[in-house]
Structure 1
Amino acid sequence: MYGESRENSFDICVYGESAAGVMAAIQSARLGKSVVLISKNQHVGGLVTSGLTATDMNRNDMVGGLAREFYQKIYAYYLNPEVWKNQNREEFFIKSRKRTYTGKNDERKMQWVYESKVAERIMLDMLKEAGVTLWQHERLKRKKGVKKNDLQISRITLESGKTVSARVFIDASYEGDLLAAAGVSYMVGREDNKTYDETLNGYRVNYNMGTNLSEVSPYRKSGYPKSGLLPYIDKKVQGAQGTQDKKVQAYCYRLTLTDDPANRIKITKPENYDPSLYEVLVRHINLNPAMTLQKIITLTPMPNRKTDTNHLDFFGASYDYAEAGYKKRGDIEEQHKNYALGMLWLLEHDPRVPQHIRDEMKDWGLPKDEFEDNGNFPNHIYVREARRMVGEFVMSEKNVVKEDRTAAPNSIGIGTYALDCHYVSKVVDEEGKLRYEGTIFQATTPYPVNYLSITPKRNECGNLLVPVCLSASHVAYSSIRMEPVYMVLGQSAAVAAAMAIDGNMAVQDIPYNELAPRLHALNQIIEINAKSK
């Protein structure tokens, strides 16, 4: 722990070790506030330091403040030839260029492709230099663990029995446990399109978008309905397109793999390996025998012959995660871990997989020098979406779409990524054909994120800020949910928290005409046409 304190009383308490939480804690400390950052494990950075190293940064010119400082530190680290162990810098950037929006910007001295262990070391150094108190292996007591006086959280209790008092709390967790325990309104799942006058929300059978599974039999014995459906396939369409439900997009682990024999640990078959979980994939591959490994999983190059490995999505297994207790979450995480390792094992060993795919997969394994305290497996599951606060302002489709946009006022950061929701479920449609359901992918252009979307409703809580599980519809969240945006919003939340303390006011009452210049002074980019420095 950094900055040990005898008294568990702070100006600002940041709950959640995500990259947004790290940036919020650093900024709070730099503003002279006493701050504690609470991590559920011994790590910091969330997905940014746990495999998601092919950063979703399509517009690096829209990333400023501490987030830019972090990516500049990564750039500086990799300028040192000695850190390149098995390839050189030039070779790497030629290899990675197509999949990572170039991976770096030399003019801004930013780099957003890296190794997880490097990113975490940089974040830990930044936290220590700022004087942040870091508590590790601590989790909120979710039942009766939040004490409120009127509309103010006065104290939270952790499972260990520790208590934390603070003037302002920041929930930077991926799950939104603090906001929920504080009685703040939230949503899990998808709204009906009518809720916010949207077009892309709700249940959506993908008849024309994404991978076509219509020729794949959904039954345990191919072509025989009486044999029963394969696991995690819905037997019928649940309702009309665009209607509300409680399902969330697929989670996964973003594994780091390597093809360096000196650093590689071969993937072994999980003990509870269930081949039926991959039967749809195998049948789809056999219908498309020329398919390559890169069309099944994406192996995006990272420094030192490593990858960010995506699309190990476990469709249908994440619906309960947001509301689940800690034990059940652990079980779901274990399911996803076994699913990921099982899928990689299958792609190398199952004789039904074409030989050219098996030959390519056999070059890959887990890296010996990453996640050494966790069996070389990432520390965080990729929670793409859990709770979403219903706050003072709700970001919705009309605030982020490319056409006919209604710009959100009072910007504290810029979103830039496409609307991007991974598949939610698999379903047998009215004609008996297998379909994916739930995906959204639609380009957009940069848009502002409203300050009040990180504040609860003013009649629910006046000293809580939420930069990750912020107030947004499922559609808007599918774009906002990128890690650089979380980091920007985390820093802006810290500035707002300090202002609320200094002005002795509720977070909803902070004058935006005072907040905006303070963000500008910290090199935050909050205007779409701002010139990046």
Structure 2
Amino acid sequence: MKRHVASIIVLNALLVWQNCLAAEVSHHKVDVCVYGGTASGVMAALAADKDGANVILVEPSRWLGGMTGGGINHLDWGKGNTVGGSTYKILMEGVKEQPRAHGGHAVQGVGNKEYRERFKKAVEDRGITVIYNHRIGEVHVGDRTIDSPTRKEPIAMNESVAVTNQSNSIRSITLDYAPVDETGCPIPEPEKRNAITVSAKVFIDCSYEGDVLGMSGVSYTWGRESREHYEESLAGVRPSLWVHDIDPYVEPGNPESGLVPFVQDRKVGPLGSADTLSMGYCFRHEFDMSGKGIPISAPTNYDPAEFEVYRRA
């Protein structure tokens, strides 16, 4: 008798535990899901909401604005008259444009913290739901569930998204809870997998790396199309903004010594032509010069040669 009672207690405990797990998984169903609270992501969410859609905005980090909202103190090149519509109010209100020696303008008077507040206020004023600190874990396309490559060892993308005869529409995405660490960087492993599921009629990928699109298996391209491809007069290769006299060789003046790291020997094509290049980018850090910041130690794989081109610049 005691054994049966104990079994019933254990079974009830398991059922309660499973019910708690099910209750913890939040499920949102909306018209439009925007993944990536970058500046473009915020504007996409605002535009969809303005058109009457029920919108949810997912941002893997702790704030909105992407590079505009974190890491850059001002917009360091451009002209205000190229910004219009809803974007103008957020980016240009209250700023001063200072002409630069090489052309264009530096935008001053508004820092990244204020831009973050502007993006946040814009979505709050529209009542748009924002999910912070959650990143893509799975994409559900037709009857397939595709795991994020960050969840396991890297594999070939065409192996993880083999096309089937089922519908290729994205039905939903599942998000992992992965809050940033004390320095604001994303943690390598999420604290909770499958924390939130978002179903939507339309998914807009505004992440910098195209996380949702890459996992969904859609076709894609990169680089610049030619002017003729879409009949865009300003498409394709454009004139260089600046040309610097930097010796590109490992041994200055000696072509036989080879190029320093990250210098390409590929010639730029004619104006308006296509290429298969992508813009280089990286993390930009803000340094605390007061002595109260976090100490910086050299990484174990530090190679001074990788920074030679910057030293010469």
Residues 36 and 69 of structure 1: CA distance in aligned 2, closer, same or farther (over 3 Å): same
Q: Which runs of 5+ in 1 are unaligned?
A: 79-92, 104-111, 284-295, 297-533
Of structures 1 and 2, the one scoring higher in RCO (CA 8 A, sep 6+) is 1
Q: What is the percent sequence identity of the aligned residues?
A: 28
Amino acid at match of 1:218: Y
Amino acid at match of 1:210: V
Amino acid at match of 2:142: K
- The one of 246, 249, 257 aligned to 1:218: 249
Residue of structure 2 in register with 1:127 after alignment: 123
Instruction: Map Cα deviations across residues 221-257 of structure 1 (whole Å, 9 max, x no partner).
Output: 44556655432345x5489768865431221444546
Residue of structure 1 in register with 2:188 after alignment: none
Amino acid at match of 1:157: T
What TM-score, normalized by structure 2, do the two folds share?
Answer: 0.59
Residue 41 (1) aligns with residue 61 (2): yes
Q: Which has the larger radius of gyration?
A: 2
Residue 270 (1) aligns with residue 270 (2): no
Is the 1:141–1:158 contact (alpha carbons within 8 Å) kept by the matching residues of 2? yes
Deviation at 1:38, TM superposition (A): 0.9
Residue of structure 2 in register with 1:140 after alignment: 136
Residue of structure 1 in register with 2:174 after alignment: 157
CA distance in 2 between counterparts of 1:70 and 1:193 reads 31
CA distance in 1 between counterparts of 2:310 and 2:64 reads 34
Q: Per residue, is there more strand in 1 or in 2?
A: 2
**3-state SS of 1:8 partner:** strand
Deviation at 1:126, TM superposition (A): 2.9
Instruction: Map Cα deviations across residues 269-308 of structure 1 (whole Å, 9 max, x no partner).
Output: 633543222334445xxxxxxxxxxxx5xxxxxxxxxxxx
Residue of structure 2 in register with 1:173 after alignment: 207
Q: Which runs of 5+ in 2 are unaligned?
A: 1-24, 144-165, 177-192
Deviation at 1:50, TM superposition (A): 1.7
Residues 239 and 14 of structure 1: CA distance in aligned 2, closer, same or farther (over 3 Å): closer
Is the 2:226–2:235 contact (alpha carbons within 8 Å) kept by the matching residues of 1? no
Residue 13 (1) aligns with residue 33 (2): yes
CA distance in 1 between counterparts of 2:98 and 2:292 reads 24
Instruction: Map Cα deviations across residues 391-418 of structure 1 (whole Å, 9 max, x no partner).
Output: xxxxxxxxxxxxxxxxxxxxxxxxxxxx
Residue of structure 1 in register with 2:70 after alignment: 50
CA distance in 2 between counterparts of 1:31 and 1:196 reads 27
Give the 5 Å matches for 1:95-494. Answer: 97-99=98-100, 101=105, 103=107, 113-141=109-137, 145-147=140-142, 150=167, 152-159=169-176, 160-161=193-194, 162-191=196-225, 201=236, 210-213=243-246, 216=247, 218-219=249-250, 221-223=251-253, 228-234=258-264, 237=266, 246-256=276-286, 270-271=298-299, 272-283=301-312
Residues 183 and 266 of structure 1: CA distance in aligned 2, closer, same or farther (over 3 Å): closer
Residues 146 and 158 of structure 1: CA distance in aligned 2, closer, same or farther (over 3 Å): farther
Is the 1:41–1:137 contact (alpha carbons within 8 Å) kept by the matching residues of 2? yes
RMSD between superposed Cα atoms in Å: 4.3
Instruction: Map Cα deviations across residues 205-229 of structure 1 (whole Å, 9 max, x no partner).
Output: 98x972233xx2512x445566554
What TM-score, normalized by structure 1, do the two folds share?
Answer: 0.37
Instruction: Map Cα deviations across residues 413-436 of structure 1 (whole Å, 9 max, x no partner).
Output: xxxxxxxxxxxxxxxxxxxxxxxx
Residues 70 and 150 of structure 1: CA distance in aligned 2, closer, same or farther (over 3 Å): same
Is the 2:248–2:260 contact (alpha carbons within 8 Å) kept by the matching residues of 1? no
